[in-house]
Structure 1
Amino acid sequence: MKPPEESPDDRLPGGYPLAGYRAGAFLGAGAWGSVYAAEGPDGTPVAVKLLSPARLSPGQRRTMAQMARRELRFGRRADHPHLIRVLAVAVLDDPAHPALDGALALVMERADRSLQDVLAAARPGTPVPGAARVLAEVCAGLTHMHRAGWVHGDLKPANILLMPDGTAKIADFGLTAELEGTHAYAPPLGSPDHVPPEWWSQRTGVRGVALRPSADIWAFGVIAHQLLTGGLHPFLGATARARSLAAQAYARGAAPLRLDEALPAPWRAVVTACLAAEREERARGDLAALVARATVRPTEARPGQPAGRAVTARAVTTRAVAALLGCAAVLLALTGAPEPTAAPGPATSGPSRQAVPPPPGAIPFDSDVPVAYRGMIEDAARRCPEPEITPALLAAMLKAESGFDPAAARPETGEYGIAMWTPAVFEAWAKAATHDGPTSYWVPGDAIAAMGNYVCWLDQQLKHRGYTRDLPALVAAGYRTSDKTVAAAGGVPERVRPHVDKVLRYLADYGG
């Protein structure tokens, strides 16, 4: 049930009065409401969320009214530094503006941006700056909700807001529900990228679907993986639906959990526990303690300090201290050291410095792969958890396809660009590109990112069909034909054998 698009006629006029506040600029629209900047009598900046029944069907009005009541009920009770506060509520009485008459306006704290905005600008494979602090603060807010007997029900990056000072706060309580024993009930809505696998098989009853805190824990695990890997989802797919299917396959035991190699070691236990396939196992875990252990690390003892009494160093900023204490409910000895962006390696200089060999599958420094495309190729390979999909393999495939020519074209077969995409197939695999806005098979970054998505899926499909050997050759063949064609031929089809041999020669040249 999708609500209709908002029209300019539905928007609040500038300066519109709302419970002592005055509306300002339109900031954006969500699934069921629109958000405006506003100011209080003293000039304090706030945000107004407007929930309007205009142009909704009767069923949609009932759902919106239910969500509005939930948001209002919890918003008034929310009392935590990492939960957005509702400051005032007003029901608009304005017959002169039929589109606004009867709308519910929630005045709340105004944020600077959301985690979704942050992830849109992130570099894949690189943790978002301050990720540990943000996760500690989100954990604190979420733990408070659960201990108070509430489930958020729609935890995702768009619903985690960053205030002007950088503090993280959970927002959007339209699906938040109060626990009745072990679970609560809410409308069957949610973000496919962040709902747990069991959500897809639940039946919708008269009161909606059952919600449990374990659903929020799963969502936290996905968000943690995204923040700490520069936006990479723990389950591969070019669309949210494809990623949800991958999560369901994992939950059935048909595929292992493959966390991205960029995920920092201290957080792997947190994400693994949050993404436990069984909700009962998630429920048994202690998220607060896991996050505290991941965020606070011991260091070596200082000279002269008794053994066994190492100093505890902090890897987050001062704002996260309160979050961790509330989240873990433990006392920690903290230093004021800022979080480093990367751990420095041993200092080397002069003749004693030794060359470090590149990891397996890396593109050799002295290869013919254009420097301008190496970072793109490495990012595309990093997004795939399959060990066969290496930068060297993608580079070999690109060389065989186009010779690294971004203007390459085969009009007779409708293939274009550096990865020789047909437009229709490109559109299907370009949805997970690394930026917002239109994508194009003529743009090397878009074409290479889409290639990485597709060959990763091919690799997984071939493994599901029982293939365990010669996967680089089979992937290259599948890229030229399809996984079904490869399976029907029982291997590399003869008609693409010359092309595949070329890919394998280039791969050998790159040390793959």
Structure 2
Amino acid sequence: MDQSTPPTPPLDIPAGYRVADWTVTELIGSGSWGSVYAAGSAERDRPLALKFLRTDLLTPGQRASMDALTGQEVRFSREADHPNLVRTHAAVTLDDPDRPELNGVIVLVMDRAERSLQDLLADGEAGVPVPGAGHILSGIAAGLAHMHTQGWVHGDLKPANTLLASEGAVWLADFGLTAELDGTHAYIPPIGSLDHVPPEWWSQRTGVRGSVVRPTADIWAFGVLAHQVLTGGLHPFLGSTARARSLAAQTYAKGAAPLRLDDRLPEGWRDLITACLAPDHASRSPLGAQELSDRVRALHAGSRPPTRRRTQILVGAGLALAAALAGVAVVAWPEREQQASPRPRKSTVVTLPGAIPEDSDVPRELRPVINEAAKRCTDKEVTPALLAAMVKAESGFDPKAARPATGEYGIAMWTPSVFNAWAVDGDRDGDKDYMSPPDAISSMAVFTCWLDQRFKQSGLRENLPALIAAGYRTSDKAVIEAGGVPASTRGHVDTVLSNLAAYTR
């Protein structure tokens, strides 16, 4: 799975190196499969990219799979011509006596984009739609509809596989897992992006032909991707790692947790994303890719302000959002000063389930921090009251608390190494610091959410707040092996439960 495959070092391809009729100019980037270089050709005016796929690290069986996937990618590109699908022109296998380390390397010759959607998300602001969000989603949906109409499933739809080119072009890319439908489904190797595979992917068996994939897998992936595009990169299922987010998606699909989309999503987009993220194949299947494309196009068209009023001040949250969604519909990939203004945050006070009582001893400056942190979890047990109860038991709300003997520090008593594995940026200052209360408490929420889901998956469902408190103080493994709260943590857990009772009266 690409989420767990470490990046390989880039191949050392110098400028001027020739691959058939194409000449390398510069490195664009590297990933787990290889490197991408910009290239030129005397016969083509359009900029090209050469994707070098390393084969020296593969077993013979993996190499055979690589050959099959690249051949399929070229064949698909030739057959499924569409303005929203990147064009792969050729696949070349290198044979270079002067560079034996390159022998056998496969090079895909492709149209060159300016950046990927993943790059755009990385440069954006959490909670704010990326520039041109509606335009981008329209292009993705149109490309997906064409693929499905032609009898193909993409199989690996995600921001990194969406390319943004000049003049506003939006291309779906990376067709290595794209498969031709055989009736209602197709078969692909059992790999994929954990953040974008549907919940049923985890429970199906892999046969001799591979794993079953249906068009509804692409619909699910589009729902996740659309949520990310419209919220500046926020995943609809919370967790600090792809595996934790996939576990949250599985918990939702089993009916153990509700679907909680970001509250800043416009209503029309919220309804469409909810339909895309229906919990299983059967409930997702009524929404075909063509209908999806039509609805996305209609939502995008409705988001555009009249051209003659484009420079006027737009009043109201709905119009401000429309400007944010349409900011790049006319001008492709503007500079920073051309980007639409962020949508104002809602000022409505929302009372969360398990809210902290007004007359409690929780410091007032920490209450909004704890409330925001609790929103990171879809599970009903992880409430502001539970987080406040745990923080009080851990540190007494002291941001400078420390237990040097056990290496625990800060308001949530994180061990630095464990914090790094679960850290999220609670105050959105671009840093993650276990001594920062917003970062520490937000990371606590993510970890407790994962513990909650872990215990449910293991069959432990009685008194989950107690199990969560015990797991936070020890580990999920200790709780599961004990079949409940370990004896060593009972005193601490009793303190948390006492605090929780005081905050939920």
TM normalised by structure 2 equals 0.76
Q: Name the amino acid aligned to 1:283.
A: S
**SS of equivalent residue, structure 2 residue 110:** strand
Note if contact 1:384-1:452 (Cα within 8 Å) is conserved in structure 2: yes
Cα distance change of structure 1 residues 249 and 393 upon mapping to structure 2, 3 Å threshold:
closer
Deviation string 1:211-266 (CA, Å, 9 cap, x unpaired) is: 22111111111111222233332233333223223323333334433333333321
Cα distance change of structure 1 residues 434 and 276 upon mapping to structure 2, 3 Å threshold:
farther
Query: Is structure 2 residue 329 aligned with structure 1 residue 289?
Result: no
Q: How does 1:456-471 map to 2 (within 5 A)?
A: 456-458=449-451, 466=461
CA deviation after TM superposition for structure 1 residue 274, in Å: 1.2
User: 2:453 & 2:151 partners in 1: Cα distance?
Assistant: 41
Correspondence for 1:408 among 398, 401, 411: 401
Aligned Cα RMSD in Å? 4.3
Q: Name the amino acid aligned to 1:247.
A: A
Q: Name the amino acid aligned to 1:15.
A: G
Note if contact 2:70-2:91 (Cα within 8 Å) is conserved in structure 1: no
Note if contact 1:125-1:382 (Cα within 8 Å) is conserved in structure 2: no
**SS of equivalent residue, structure 2 residue 102:** coil
For residue 97 of structure 2, what is the aligned residue in structure 1? Answer: 95
CA deviation after TM superposition for structure 1 residue 392, in Å: 7.3
Question: Any unmatched runs of 5+ in structure 2?
Answer: 305-320, 331-338
Note if contact 2:71-2:91 (Cα within 8 Å) is conserved in structure 1: no
Q: Name the amino acid aligned to 2:19.
A: L
For residue 136 of structure 2, what is the aligned residue in structure 1? Answer: 134
User: 1:223 & 1:38 partners in 2: Cα distance?
Assistant: 30
User: 1:210 & 1:184 partners in 2: Cα distance?
Assistant: 6
Deviation string 1:52-98 (CA, Å, 9 cap, x unpaired) is: 32232101101111111121112233422221122454333312111
User: 1:108 & 1:497 partners in 2: Cα distance?
Assistant: 61
Deviation string 1:133-173 (CA, Å, 9 cap, x unpaired) is: 22121111111111111111111111112224554321111
Cα distance change of structure 1 residues 47 and 478 upon mapping to structure 2, 3 Å threshold:
same
User: 1:462 & 1:207 partners in 2: Cα distance?
Assistant: 34
**SS of equivalent residue, structure 1 residue 284:** coil
User: 2:381 & 2:253 partners in 1: Cα distance?
Assistant: 23
Note if contact 1:86-1:108 (Cα within 8 Å) is conserved in structure 2: yes
Deviation string 1:295-329 (CA, Å, 9 cap, x unpaired) is: 34499xxxxxxxxxxxxx977549769xxxxxxxx
**SS of equivalent residue, structure 2 residue 295:** helix
The number of residues matched between the two structures is 464
Note if contact 1:129-1:341 (Cα within 8 Å) is conserved in structure 2: no
**SS of equivalent residue, structure 2 residue 279:** coil
Query: Is structure 2 residue 254 aligned with structure 1 residue 252?
Result: yes
Q: How does 1:37-436 map to 2 (within 5 A)?
A: 37-41=38-42, 45-285=47-287, 286-297=291-302, 316-317=325-326, 341-342=342-343, 359=351, 361=355, 379-386=372-379, 389=382, 394=387, 398=391, 401-402=394-395, 406-430=399-423
Cα distance change of structure 1 residues 138 and 57 upon mapping to structure 2, 3 Å threshold:
same
**SS of equivalent residue, structure 1 residue 28:** strand
Q: Name the amino acid aligned to 1:118.
A: L
- Deviates most, 425-434 or 47-56: 425-434
User: 1:275 & 1:499 partners in 2: Cα distance?
Assistant: 35
For residue 434 of structure 2, what is the aligned residue in structure 1? Answer: 441
User: 2:357 & 2:80 partners in 1: Cα distance?
Assistant: 52
User: 1:404 & 1:118 partners in 2: Cα distance?
Assistant: 38
Q: How does 1:465-480 map to 2 (within 5 A)?
A: 466=461, 479-480=472-473
User: 2:439 & 2:446 partners in 1: Cα distance?
Assistant: 11
- Deviates most, 131-140 or 71-80: 71-80
Note if contact 2:373-2:426 (Cα within 8 Å) is conserved in structure 1: no
For residue 15 of structure 1, what is the aligned residue in structure 2? Answer: 16
User: 2:90 & 2:357 partners in 1: Cα distance?
Assistant: 58
Cα distance change of structure 1 residues 260 and 19 upon mapping to structure 2, 3 Å threshold:
same
User: 1:225 & 1:390 partners in 2: Cα distance?
Assistant: 23
For residue 332 of structure 1, what is the aligned residue in structure 2? Answer: none
Deviation string 1:324-366 (CA, Å, 9 cap, x unpaired) is: xxxxxxxxxxxxxx97743799xxxxxxxxx9766554899xx
**SS of equivalent residue, structure 2 residue 155:** coil
- Deviates most, 239-248 or 184-193: 239-248
The percentage of aligned residue pairs carrying the same residue is 53
Note if contact 1:239-1:432 (Cα within 8 Å) is conserved in structure 2: no
Q: Name the amino acid aligned to 1:31.
A: S
CA deviation after TM superposition for structure 1 residue 47, in Å: 1.8
